[in-house]
Every structure is written in C-alpha cells, then in structure tokens.
Amino acid sequence: MMQLVVNIAGLLLIGLIIYWFWLAHPRKVTPNQANPIEILVRDGVYSPAYFQVKKGEKVFLRFIREDPSPCAAKVIFNSLGKTLELPINESAEIELQLDNAGEIDFTCDMHMYRGKLVVE
C-alpha cells in the first residue's frame, strides 16, 4: 500500500515537472510605470511567477507581500545584482531595465520562493 502511494506521488511529481518545463508558457506582459506587474507573495509562491517581457523595455514590478515569515522579506534578482526589501502587507516596487534577452530568476533569500522572467 505504502509503495503504491509513493509511486503515485512520484508520478504526480513527474507530471508537474513536465508541465513546468515543457507545457507551461510564460504569460506575456507589457507593464509600464502606471501599470506594473503585480506579484502576490503568499503561501510560498509568487503569483504570477513566470512571465515574459520585451527586450529593451523598462519593466516595473510591484510585489505585495502577505506572508509574514522572514523568508519572504526579500526578493533577489541575482543575475542583475538587485535586491528588493518587502515590508509586510505593503507593496514594494522595482524598475528593471532589461536590454539582453535571457531568463532572469528571482527568489527569496533561501530560494523557497522562485520566479522567472523571460526577456525576448
């Protein structure tokens, strides 16, 4: 019985991985200063966590943190060398100038929250 449960859990995990890497497409967005991308920080996930923007444009992100755990206190854009502090139950904004195509990961301090920005 236990083995069956483990097998099913394994299959679900594989399905999730396939979905994430092959089937999920980033949401295309064109944010501006008046309409930033709003990202909710709650229950261990950024939502949205995967989106696509145009190369050469400024991107405005607004993080709204509802998670009180200290883990959610920072968003780190490692490849850009940028960090944004998130006060609880408030919003914090960051402006990114993205001139190169590629993928930009953003995470919390301990990499539990994860998101990805595709620049094309």
Contact residues for Cu ion (CB under 5 A)? 71, 108, 110, 112
State the Cα–Cα distance between residues 24 and 19, nearest whole angstrom. 6
Q: Which is nearer to Cu ion, 51 or 67 (CB)?
A: 67
Minimal distance in Å, beta carbon 107 to Cu ion? 8
Residue carrying structure tokens 């940028």:
82
Minimal distance in Å, beta carbon 41 to Cu ion? 10
Task: Report long-range pairs for 82-87 (Cβ below 8 Å, ≥24 apart).
Answer: 86/41
Q: Which is nearer to Cu ion, 73 or 80 (CB)?
A: 73
Q: Which is nearer to Cu ion, 57 or 109 (CB)?
A: 109
Minimal distance in Å, beta carbon 47 to Cu ion? 16
